[in-house]
Amino acid sequence: MITRLVVFGGTGDLAARYLLPAVSALFAAGHLDSRFEMVCADRKGRSEAEFQQWVAAQLDHHAADTPVAARKATAAATRYRRADIQSSEDVAALLPDGQPVAIYLALPPALFPAAVTTLHDAGLPAGSRIVLEKPFGEDLAGAEKLNRLLAELVPERAVFRVDHFLAMTTVQNLLGSRLANRVLESVWNSAHIAEVEIIWDETLTLEGRAGYYDHVGALKDMVQNHLLQLLCLIAMEPPITLSERDLRDHKVDVLRSIRPLTDADIPHRTRRGRYLAGLIGDRGVPAYVDEQGVDAKRGAETFAEVQLMIDSWRWSGTNFVLRSGKALGADRKEVAVHFRPVPHMPFGHQGVAAPDVLRFGLDPECLSLELTAIGPTVNTLKPLTLTARMDPPELPAYGRLLLDVLHGDPSLAIRADEAEQAWRVVTPILAAWSRNLVPLAEYPAGSAGPPRSGR
């Protein structure tokens, strides 16, 4: 196990909201001990005392649910270093003893190529691992170039292109439900399933992340990675094992079989939008373009929806809807599997029944099955929903990811070819949107998103 984690961008939003709480959860669950150290590096040049104050404040805010002892252990394991990721001297100074390290690039994707080149020049110790946040590259050509640079730096098994959705227990449960049971797999195909919705609608707004988000937008922030990964788990063929090779080969097969959208499809199979000022519940929200750091001319979308088809024996004829939006009226984070109507309904005119829906709630975690049952009066039907809550996970998603990185298990990381295939899917959409083939619709914050006109 590697015991040294060096985080570039180590005092940013990701470190504060996800990495520090993850380390704290790992201490709480007994996965880390006093040998572990986390070095947070950036160019700001803070004093250690200032940094420790910041760490304590972030842990209080974002890891309030972990025991005090675990938070203390995290603070004790964490220290600050000033370093510029574009300076090989700075980087080399963080790798003094030749011991393998895990380098986490919690940086904007535009900095990845330069960062990888610097790590190369600085002489990364053998056995080191590198962790990159999504989106991996800014487009297909960028991802290919980055993959080439990484291949010169470390073996593919040491590259962790992370997608924290894959480490959510609720997402893992997509595989659990499908592959550890008989009942679903026999109906898991287009003969029985009409549509799968993969939805991540948030009431959350920009939350001060313009420096990242305004350069990326919802399609690259959510669909190109998280939602396509969910699609892979739902649509893949059952693998022989869940080892990194089997799992990732099968996910790549799904991505390869997604039918590319053409300019003719894109206006009616995709939607994009940007939020205006509005009310979410009783919270007043400014328009996206009025948020600090946003440049309206960049045209970043805060809502993206894409409908895809998979060209395979199993899935030909099933519609897959992938959608994510910010500042919406209600959180809806789920995979909804819509079954086809029954072929024959023997209940006469009173036998109107909605087709079955299986919902995997991703946050909050829950599983529900919407069926039709016999109603109280003769020959009538009524909806019946079976719902189960899942046990809270031992580790948050980033906790599981960090543990895999430290142990060197890349099964939940995205492989080089997988990242490129995911870009292949969204590239025609990005190109068509940049030519305004689909206008950037506006929607009030607190609404259900842009209107569906024109579909």
Task: For the CB of residue 2, give the shortest distance to ligand BG6 in the complex, in Å.
Answer: 24
- Residue 56 φ then ψ, to 5°: -60, -40
Task: For the CB of residue 230, give the shortest distance to ligand BG6 in the complex, in Å.
Answer: 12
178 token code pair: 């499908």
Query: Closest CB to ligand BG6 among 261 and 401?
Result: 401
Site string for ligand BG6, 150-189 (x = CB under 6 A): ----------------------------------------
Rg (CA), the chain: 23
Other C-beta atoms within 10 Å of 64: how many? 10
Question: Is 84 assigned to a binding site?
Answer: yes
CA distance 138 to 112: 10
Query: Closest CB to ligand BG6 among 226 and 271?
Result: 226
Query: What letter represents residue 182's amino acid?
Result: R
Query: What letter represents residue 218's amino acid?
Result: A
Query: Closest CB to ligand BG6 among 138 and 202?
Result: 202
Q: What angle do CA 121, 89, 54 make, to 5 degrees?
A: 115
Q: Which of residues 108-127 bind ligand BG6 (CB under 6 A)?
A: none
Query: What letter represents residue 345's amino acid?
Result: M
> Could you tell me which of 207, 249, 13, 245 has the C-alpha nearest to residue 108?
13
Task: For the CB of residue 212, give the shortest distance to ligand BG6 in the complex, in Å.
Answer: 8
349 token code pair: 């005119």
- Active site includes 192? no
> Quick check: helix, strand or coil at residue 31?
coil
Residues in the chain, total? 455
Q: What angle do CA 333, 275, 426 make, to 5 degrees?
A: 60
CA 76 to chain centre: 30
Size of the site for ligand BG6 (CB under 6 A): 3
Burial 349-365 (b: 16+ CB within 10 A, else e): eeeebebbbbbbbbeeb
- Measured from each CB, the residue nearest to ligand BG6 is 221
Query: Closest CB to ligand BG6 among 108 and 239?
Result: 108
Question: Is 220 assigned to a binding site?
Answer: no
End-to-end CA distance of the chain: 53
Question: Is 344 assigned to a binding site?
Answer: no
Task: For the CB of residue 413, give the shortest distance to ligand BG6 in the complex, in Å.
Answer: 15
- Any residues with CB less than 8 A from the CB of 434 and at least 6 apart, and which? none
Residue 212: strand pairing partners: none
Query: Closest CB to ligand BG6 among 90 and 202?
Result: 202
- Residue 156 φ then ψ, to 5°: -55, -35
Let me know: does 185 contact 238? Beta carbons within 8 Å.
yes
**Identified binder of ligand BG6 from the candidate list 110, 126, 141, 204, rule CB under 6 A:** 204
* Binding of ligand BG6 by 221 (CB under 6 A): yes
Q: Which of residues 257-296 bind ligand BG6 (CB under 6 A)?
A: none
Q: Which of residues 330-349 bind ligand BG6 (CB under 6 A)?
A: none
Query: Closest CB to ligand BG6 among 260 and 364?
Result: 364
Task: For the CB of residue 14, give the shortest distance to ligand BG6 in the complex, in Å.
Answer: 9
Task: For the CB of residue 309, give the shortest distance to ligand BG6 in the complex, in Å.
Answer: 26
Question: Is 31 assigned to a binding site?
Answer: no
CA distance 94 to 101: 10
Which entry of 226, 250, 268, 338 is annotated as an active-site residue?
A: 226
256 token code pair: 């390869």
As a whole number of angstroms, the longest Cα–Cα distance in the chain is: 81
Site string for ligand BG6, 72-91 (x = CB under 6 A): --------------------
Task: For the CB of residue 17, give the shortest distance to ligand BG6 in the complex, in Å.
Answer: 7
Query: Closest CB to ligand BG6 among 197 and 202?
Result: 202
> Could you tell me which of 366, 361, 372 has the C-alpha nearest to residue 335?
361
Q: Residues within the annotated binding site?
A: 43, 84-85, 134, 164, 202, 221, 326
Q: Residues within the annotated binding site for substrate?
A: 164, 202, 221, 326
Hey, which residues are catalytic here? 226
Q: Residues within the annotated binding site for NADP(+)?
A: 43, 84-85, 134
Binding residues for ligand BG6 (CB under 6 A): 202, 204, 221
